[in-house]
Amino acid sequence: MSTACLAMPLPSMDASRNEPADADLVRRSVAGDTRAFETLYRRHAGRVHGAVWRLSGMNAARAEELTQEAFVRAWQKLDSFRFESAFTTWLHRLAVNVALMELRSRDPEDAHEADVLEAAAEPVRPFCAGERGDLEQAVARLPPRARAVLILHDIEGWKHEEIGRELGMAVGSSKAQLHRARGLLRRMLGEHHD
Amino acid sequence: MTDFEIQRRLRDLRGPVEPSRDLWPGIATRLTAAAAPAVAPPRRRLPLALAAGVTLTALAGVLAIALQRQPVERPLAGTDPAILPGVGRVPLDQVPGGDPRLAGATLVIDSAQAQLEAALEQQPEAVFLVGLLNRTHAQRMKLERIGAQAG
Amino acid sequence: MRTAALALSLTGAALLTVPAAPALAAARPIDQTVAVDADARIDVSNIKGSVSVVVWDRDEVAISGTLGDGSKGLTVEGGGSHLTVRVEPPEKSGWFSWGADSRMGETTLRLSVPRRAELEIEVVSASVDVDGSAGRRLSVESVSGALRLAGQPGECDLSSVSGRIEVGGCRERLDVESVSGNVRVRDAGGALEFETVSGDIDVETTRYRTLSAGTVSGTIAIRGELDPDGRVEIESMSGDVALQIGADASVDLHAETFSGRIRSDFGTVRSEDHGPGRSLDTKIGSGAARVRIETFSGGIAITRR
């Protein structure tokens, strides 16, 4: 089921001195070398997947789709990559945008606070071991927009201005969404624990 | 739990999460279909301009009159579109499906959104306003869905 | 039983469409009867005119009325556990077509259905009137037609853009959504949920378990007994909110507004020392039920019943 939370670093991921730098792999990929792009995928899949997994509300199937979509987009847009920034930053940003694209176009179907809290009060389904489980679950149960703002601000470290621009909302709304998300989290976590 | 603690615990969530299976084969198939980036330049994707944002700005000027009650009893399906509520007060190309029957509701929703945004500027900690804003946005999307069947 | 089953299978295969009449012909009469299960699901759609549904104690649906000019015809499909009755738009038009709407005459659709039938009704500007239904579920989607329900369905989902919605009875769950249409409820129990943009919400009922109501600029007025462990959540931007609470109720009450006024028969209203904002926090009785009201500029009035 929720195997997505098991970190499974591939042996080849250990950055060895002999491995080519991202920039070289990007150049080879732009020239059409899919093997080079595969190496980039193996190196960065965890980070990309982690970001879209959180934004999708820890939905494993959706996160896999979004990860694939992000890498396909990256391949298509590689020639627009400017080498002054780190490839990992560029890729990460692109992946987040792919995940947000869905959010921007979707019907918010936003729930009342009471409904969110009621849903959160349902029995905790088995999740991966570890103390972060309850927080992750609470985040997953937030209404999509509030969750996106919370993740972008508190996990990805974005500014409200950026979030507002990306999600098509005023800065005030972004701040309020964050406030709301934290409030909901507090109440959800409070209900599970003391 | 304080906001500070929540932020600290959230920061711990940062970091890679490996997918549960190897996604590369799926990606590779699509890359071949998409061809090499250098050979075939990427298709330009139009940025998704969110209609609501645009209309909000456009309608900011008519805020004062906007939330006037719509005549509830009047059937929208009159034969003369000019008498329908909202027609003439909102450009038809901003109405879902360009349908005059939805002009009144479009005007009501768009100005409600603008007013909510303005209220949030004054009281950013009012989280219930965000809920109202999101649900009003959902109503706008519903009009879009109805409008998509027009014509 | 055997005959009934036979009748069902026959009607199950039936697909009848009243043939299209030439343009400008007089309205065509509708008269049809189809055997259905006692708890069948019946889908009805009309564009313009009216839909009225009454119940009877027969396992049959009788359809009568007149078909408006311009409609391609009336489609009656299925039978048994699922029947569809659909007024077709003019040739080459979509269901929600402005052109079709202006070219079409009004269709009057009258249905007699089993009391326990489940109803799903979809209209554009046609009015909808449902009387006596006690099915598991009633759902109505309307764009501008007025909607009136009298009966006791289990669950009701009613939605309209600008049409007025009147409800007289819904047993377990009522969910009403409108943009500018006003909502008036005179009897409903269980879980109640209302959402409008500018439409007014006016509810008077005997007893309910939970209520959530949200509006941007409409007014909200709620009168009725809340269950001892019930929950109420009301949110409004600029619309006024009036809530009546039973004298012997037991409620944990919280109300707050940014720039509106709060008037309450219970507790003491507190004003912020600096800047705007008023709030009220009080317990009535043991405070088992929870009531939360928030507005931006709308006034809040809480009165003893």
Mean pLDDT of chain C: 88
**pLDDT for A86-141, tens place per residue?**
888 889 888 988 888 877 665 554 555 556 666 555 544 444 444 457 888 889 88
Close Cβ partners of B106 (under 8 Å, ≥ 6 residues apart): B55, B86, B90, B94, B95, B96, B140, B143
Cβ distance C56 to C69 under 8 Å? no
**C177 bridge partner residues:** C159, C195
Region for C169 from its dihedrals, namely left if φ exceeds 0, alpha if ψ lies in -120 to 50, beta otherwise: left
> In the Cβ-directed half-sphere of A138, how many Cα atoms lie within 13 Å?
24
**pLDDT for A34-60, tens place per residue?**
889 999 999 999 999 999 999 988 888
CB neighbours of residue C243 within 10 Å: 26
Which residue did the predictor score with more confidence, B33 or A40?
Answer: A40
**Is residue C24's pLDDT more than 60?**
no
List all residues of chain A from 26 to 85 with a beta carbon under 8 Å from chain B: 29-32, 34, 37-38, 41-42, 45-47, 49-50, 53-54, 60, 63-64, 67-68, 71-72, 75-80
Cβ distance C271 to C249 under 8 Å? no
Among the partner residues A45, A75, A109, nearest to B31 by beta-carbon distance: A75
* Separation of CA B91 from chain center: 18
pLDDT at site B81:
62
Residue A191 touches partner B, C-beta closer than 8 Å:
no
Chain A positions in Cβ-Cβ contact with residue B42 (cut-off 8 Å): 76-77, 79-80
Residue B56 touches partner C, C-beta closer than 8 Å:
no
CA distance to partner chain C, nearest, from residue B53 (Å): 18
Among the partner residues C94, C179, C237, nearest to B151 by beta-carbon distance: C94
Say which amino acid occupies A95: A
List all residues of chain B from 126 to 145 with a beta carbon under 8 Å from chain A: 126-131, 133-135, 137-138, 141-142
* Separation of CA A9 from chain center: 18
Chain B neighbours (≥3 Cβ pairs under 8 A) are A, C
Cβ distance A148 to A54 under 8 Å? no
CA distance to partner chain C, nearest, from residue B109 (Å): 7
Q: How many CB pairs under 8 A join B and C?
A: 118
Query: Over pLDDT 70: what percentage of chain A?
Result: 73
Q: What is the DSSP letter of B77?
A: T
**Residue C299 CA: distances (Å) to CA of A49, A137, C234, C239, C296:** 48, 37, 12, 7, 9
CA distance to partner chain A, nearest, from residue C193 (Å): 10
pLDDT at site A165:
79
pLDDT at site C204:
94
Backbone angles phi, psi at B129, to 5 degrees: -65, -35
- DSSP letters of A2-33? -GGGS----GGGS--TTSPPHHHHHHHHHTT-
**C252 bridge partner residues:** C283, C290
**pLDDT for C235-269, tens place per residue?**
999 999 999 998 788 999 999 999 999 999 999 99
Kindly determine whether residue A179 and residue B1, on different chains, have CB atoms separated by under 8 Å: no
Q: Which residues of B64-86 are buried (b: 16+ CB within 10 A; e: fewer)?
A: eebbeebebeebbbeeebeebbb
Region for B100 from its dihedrals, namely left if φ exceeds 0, alpha if ψ lies in -120 to 50, beta otherwise: alpha
Mean pLDDT of B92-107: 84
Mean pLDDT of C273-301: 90
Q: What is the DSSP letter of B44?
A: P
Kindly determine whether residue A114 and residue C214, on different chains, have CB atoms separated by under 8 Å: no
**Is residue C45's pLDDT more than 60?**
yes
Angle, vertex CA A29, rays to CA A98 and CA A6, nearest 5: 50
Cβ distance C11 to C57 under 8 Å? no
State how far the Cα of B110 lies from the Cα of C87, in Å rounded to an integer: 32
List all residues of chain A from 96 to 115 with a beta carbon under 8 Å from chain C: 112-115
**Residue A187 CA: distances (Å) to CA of A121, A145, B10:** 10, 18, 15
Chain C neighbours (≥3 Cβ pairs under 8 A) are A, B
Q: How many CB pairs under 8 A join A and B?
A: 175
List all residues of chain B from 57 to 116 with a beta carbon under 8 Å from chain A: none
pLDDT at site A126:
41
pLDDT at site C69:
86
Cβ distance C180 to B69 under 8 Å? yes
- The pair of three-digit structure tokens given for residue A177, joined into one six-digit string: 């969404």
**How much is the ipTM here?**
0.81
Cβ distance B10 to A154 under 8 Å? yes
**Residue A29 CA: distances (Å) to CA of A40, A70, B32, B39, C114:** 9, 15, 13, 11, 67
- The pair of three-digit structure tokens given for residue B34, joined into one six-digit string: 């998409």
pLDDT at site A20:
79
